[in-house]
């Protein structure tokens, strides 16, 4: 069982917006502003989409945004495109004992 | 451009050892921390190990502590993962990933394609 809880799947139509939640505890998501999000297409290398809760690496579309409230972080994708389909994982720093923990992943389907 | 290429995966019996390698190119390897992250079949991502840019600090997930060893050779732009006493639950695709910083940032900004480790008798 993953330390961070994500919905198993979400879906949306092209052009719509979707939000993926990532729920942890005060020992990880709620305790630090060190949340990141990764996009993973099957057979390909995962890609960093968001870090420091809401920062986008160079080259990542501004359709992707991140936020956090309490123990829950969220990834929002606006203007859904077919290429956004894939798995998304949240990740949080979890203190000196556990260091890093991932969510279980969310499969995004673009209808 | 940044490239990370893993190798060394394969089929191994429980209790045996395997060493993975990750060859890096396209950036100044000695300035960045490196990680190993794995994905078991049908499961999510799991962070495995971290090594700082100069090899001075190494950290491990509890699930592999005492069995796996991460190391690096900055002269060869390569990071390694020595895996001993392998268990069925270690079976996964193993990815190497670059740290966004010197090793203590824990954001993975570039990943390899992964190498598959199968643990089976």
- Do A45 and B114 make contact, defined as CB atoms within 8 angstroms? yes
DSSP tag of B31: G
Q: What is the pLDDT of residues B7-60, one digit of tens each?
A: 999 999 999 999 999 999 999 999 999 999 999 998 999 999 999 999 999 999
Chain A residue nearest residue B112, CA to CA: A45
CB B87 within 8 A of CB B70: no
By the 10 Å C-beta count (0-12 exposed, 13-18 middle, 19+ buried), A82 is classed as exposed
Give residue B103's pLDDT.
Answer: 76
Q: Do B50 and A47 touch (CB under 8 A)?
A: no
* pLDDT lower than 70: segments of chain A: 1-2
Find the mean pLDDT for residues B74-91.
97
What the block records as the tokens of B46 is 């799991």
Query: Is B62's CB within 8 Å of A98's CB?
Result: yes
Q: State pLDDT tens for residues A25-54.
A: 999 999 999 999 999 998 899 999 999 999
What are the chain B neighbours of A52 within 8 Å (beta carbons)? 107
Candidates B43, B59, B111; nearest CB to A46: B111
Mean pLDDT over each residue of chain B, to the nearest integer = 95
Beta-bridge mates of residue A62: none
Name the band, by pLDDT with cuts 50, 70 and 90, for residue B89.
very high
Q: DSSP characters for A52-92?
A: TTTB--TT--TTEEEEEETTEEEEEE-S--GGG-EEEEEEE
Interstrand relation of B10-12 and B115-119 (parallel, antiparallel or unpaired): parallel
């Amino acid at each position: 069982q993953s330390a961070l809880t994500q919905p198993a799947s979400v879906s949306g139509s092209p052009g719509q917006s979707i939000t993926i939640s990532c729920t942890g505890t005060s020992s990880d998501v709620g305790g630090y502003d060190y949340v990141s999000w990764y996009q993973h297409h099957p057979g390909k290398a995962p890609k960093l989409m968001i870090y420091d809760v809401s920062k986008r690496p160079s080259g990542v579309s501004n359709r992707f945004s991140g936020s956090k409230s309490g123990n829950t972080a969220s990834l929002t994708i606006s203007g859904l495109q077919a290429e956004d389909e894939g798995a998304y994982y949240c990740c949080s720093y979890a203190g000196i004992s556990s260091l890093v923990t991932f969510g279980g992943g969310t499969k995004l389907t673009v209808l | 451009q940044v490239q990370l290429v893993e190798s060394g995966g394969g089929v191994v019996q429980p209790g045996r050892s395997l060493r993975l390698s990750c060859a890096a190119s396209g950036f100044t390897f000695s300035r960045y921390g490196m990680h190993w992250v794995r994905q078991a079949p049908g499961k999510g991502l799991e962070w495995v190990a971290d090594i700082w840019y100069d090899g001075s600090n190494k950290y491990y997930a509890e699930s592999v502590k005492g069995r796996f060893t991460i190391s690096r050779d900055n002269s060869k732009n390569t990071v390694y993962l020595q895996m001993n006493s392998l268990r069925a639950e270690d079976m996964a695709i193993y990815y190497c990933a670059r740290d966004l910083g010197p090793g203590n940032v824990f954001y993975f900004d570039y990943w390899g394609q992964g190498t598959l480790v199968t643990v089976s008798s």
